[in-house]
Amino acid sequence: MDYRNPPVVERALGLYANINPELFQRKLESWKDIVRTEFPEDISLTQYLIKSQFRNDEKRVSVVENFSPEVEIVYRFGQEGAKLKRVWSTRFQETHFSINLERDGNKTHQFNQLLEKAKVWIPKWANHFEVESLDNISLHYVNLLSEDFTPQFWVSGEQSGLDMTKAIKVFERMPGNIVSLVPPYNCTMSGVFDGTLCPKSWVNTINVATSTIKGKKDKIAIHVDIVINTMEKVSVANCISKIECAHSLLLTQFEAVFTETALASFKPIQL
């Protein structure tokens, strides 16, 4: 079941493959030109990586044996939305290609929008870099809970804040004599599916993290990340059906994470 107003602020589809480094560099600039036809803004990121190796000395104390800092560029191009927010963006390196759809204010988005964009851009990327098979497919939804974004979970008064018992199932029943929860609400879990909807090679990760809202030090936001990964090789020709399967799995997890009260407030779409 889909929802008219889910708390999803970003949907990210990631495709992972090992592209020959020489081929990638040779075709990089022409690929940027293709990407700019729809994603004109260059918002690439420079990352500094530190790789190190350790060994134990004669006293069994770990010492650094090799230390090598590296500079890595994540090529990222965006398309601004109505409120100057980058609603659509794409990222790529030698090892991966992703399409990201972010929420523009109160305008919600649906999975089909991401899927239609994928149907256009996956063949372009695969043909350009001569990719025939994928090592992994990842579908990642970022959900946001906050006073402004999901006021239905906000409790006013002396102990004002987000009532997590109304939002997330894992917090519905509090242990012992606890009468209320206080931040941070952080937890992570991963699991393998039983193969009912998709092959058993699919893996799910759910992460709940607390952060402070920028400019409002006394206000917090909760990010609930739900990620689906397939840990098997997939041909580019069959990847769309796999992406649709990933979305089905992600919906089952979405409905397993949030309470019945929360799901009703997200306005289910009756098919």
CA 15 – CA 133 distance, rounded (Å):
10
Q: What is the pLDDT of residue 183?
A: 80
What is the pLDDT at residue 266? 94
Please measure the distance between the N-terminal and C-terminal CA atoms of the chain and give it in whole angstroms: 8
Please state, as a whole number, how many other Cβ atoms lie within 10 Å of the Cβ of residue 152: 13
The pLDDT assigned to 63 comes to 55
Residues of the chain with pLDDT below 70 are 48-69, 81-86, 158-159, 200, 213-218, 271
Q: CB-hemisphere CA count at 13 Å for 7?
A: 28
6 within 8 A of 266, measured Cβ to Cβ: yes
Is the separation of the CB atoms in 7 and 269 below 8 Å?
A: no
So what's the pLDDT on residue 195?
78
227: left (phi over 0), alpha (psi -120 to 50) or beta: beta
3-state secondary structure of 84: coil
Give me the pLDDT at residue 89, please.
Answer: 94
> What confidence score (pLDDT) does residue 64 get?
54
Quote the tokens at residue 180. 């209320």
Predicted pLDDT at 224: 94
* pLDDT of res. 49: 64
Give pLDDT, residue 85: 61
Helix (H) or strand (E) holding 164: helix 164-167
Reported as a single tens digit per residue, the pLDDT across 112-138 is 999 999 999 999 999 999 999 999 999
Q: Give the per-residue pLDDT at 160.
A: 74
- Quick one: pLDDT at residue 126? 98
Which run of H or of E encompasses 234?
strand 234-235
